Amino acid sequence: MADIHGTYDERFAQVRDVLAANLDAGLDLGASVAVFLRGEPVVDIWGGYVDEAKTRPWEQDTIINVWSTTKTMAALCSLILADRGELDLHAPVARYWPEFAAASKERVEVRHLLAHTAGLSGWAEPVSIEDLYDWEKATSLLAVQEPWWSPGTASGYHAVTQGYLVGEVVRRVTGQTLGTFFANEVAGPLGADFHIGTPSECDDRVAPVVPPPSLADQLGAIDPDSVAARTFSNPVLDASVSFEIPWRRAEIPAANGHGNARSVGVIQSVLACGGEVGGVRLLSEKGCEAVFEEQANGTDLVLGVPLRFGVGYGLSGELLPIGPRACFWGGWGGSLIIADYDLNLVVTYVMNKMESGLVGDVRGAGVALAAFAAATS
């Protein structure tokens, strides 16, 4: 059996076994798993390697680009501001970002950005990878763009654009970039090793991802005029871009957060525990419950799968049947976070070997099933 490091409550030994089995089978190269119950870590484990040559072991402080799991951090920042009364989730975006009212978007609300229903799942104007590092350009193009469908009527996964849209609202409200607000108001108070705009002092701890099958190849089978093709083809992301320092330093709040299962878990435990973890309160109980206000329920226009969205998170549905007051999201390649408000339980899985899935895969699901079985037994 693969060597698994860290600590776990014996009640959750099956979670360790799932990670070990994934490593033994070659499904994982290196990974970390955490389970928090009532805000306390009952599983904090890791194993495998950070490199394909298997010369460098995954360590306790290894971090990695978690792709769209980053979206849960941006969502949490928005919920905190709403709970403080500084941001109205049902207000027009243009109240905070006047330029956004262009192209008939004056009635698009903040909640639409958080639920992928704003109709801005991609850029209409040509955008390069380098443009993603230019906050002003990326947000200004979205501000003047016409929606691709009627906002609020359906979800269409805002794979990269969501971070700029939500982040610009946060910047207009607070005067801080989303990455700075997150560091000062969330990660810092919780002592969590998660970064949106990762500093150079973290570089030697970052594990490179093992890229999945080419997204460009997958796009070849999709109607080029479809919302999905327009979303993913401008620009086409290659996971190897995450190796580059400009990507790491930039703030791309939908896609380039760096952390591990432990840091994702402690942060998202805020939601699962009524707003307070380790004596640090970031939200009221009512502020947490805002997540469960259903915003969309149907086949997502971009991902083509049945999805039910609340405010900033996916909710229990056909894709992932979880508790009635549980929420989730995952990252390109396989990372996953599930937070259950009723059980006060958070399960997180972060890895370096990416599969083709955009919002998690069976490896994270196996970890979650084992954790929920232990928590409810």
User: Coil, helix or strand for 61?
Assistant: coil
Residues 339-351 as b or e (16 or more Cβ within 10 Å = b): bbbebbbbbbbbb
150 located within any domain: no
Q: Give every CB contact of residue 368 below 8 A, 6+ residues apart in sequence.
A: 336, 338, 347, 349
CA distance 109 to 296: 14
113 located within any domain: no
Tally of domains within the chain: 1
**pLDDT (tens digit, 9 = 90+) per residue, 264-288?**
999 999 999 999 999 999 999 999 9
Mean pLDDT, residues 116-141 taken together: 98
**pLDDT (tens digit, 9 = 90+) per residue, 208-238?**
999 998 776 766 678 888 999 999 999 999 9
326 located within any domain: yes
How many CB atoms within 10 Å of residue 245? 10
Look at the alpha carbons of 144, 148, 152, 155 in this order and tell me if their dihedral is positive or negative: negative
8 A C-beta contact, residue 274 and residue 188: no
- What would the 3-class secondary structure string for 207-224 be? CCCECCCCHHHHHCCCCC
CA distance 208 to 64: 7
**pLDDT (tens digit, 9 = 90+) per residue, 3-15?**
999 999 999 999 9
CA distance 229 to 220: 9
CATH of the domain at 347: 3.40.710.10
pTM: 0.97
User: Residue 293's Cα: distance from chain center in Å?
Assistant: 19
Question: What single-letter DSSP state applies at residue 183?
Answer: I
200 in active site: no
Q: For residue 19, what are the domain limits?
A: 4-75+180-376
**pLDDT (tens digit, 9 = 90+) per residue, 331-361?**
999 999 999 999 999 999 999 999 987 777 8
90 located within any domain: no
141 located within any domain: no
300 located within any domain: yes
285 located within any domain: yes
User: How many percent of the chain have pLDDT more than 70?
Assistant: 98
- Identify the active-site residue in 68, 78, 242, 263: 68
Model confidence at 53, pLDDT cuts 50, 70, 90, reads very high
149 located within any domain: no
CA distance 309 to 316: 9
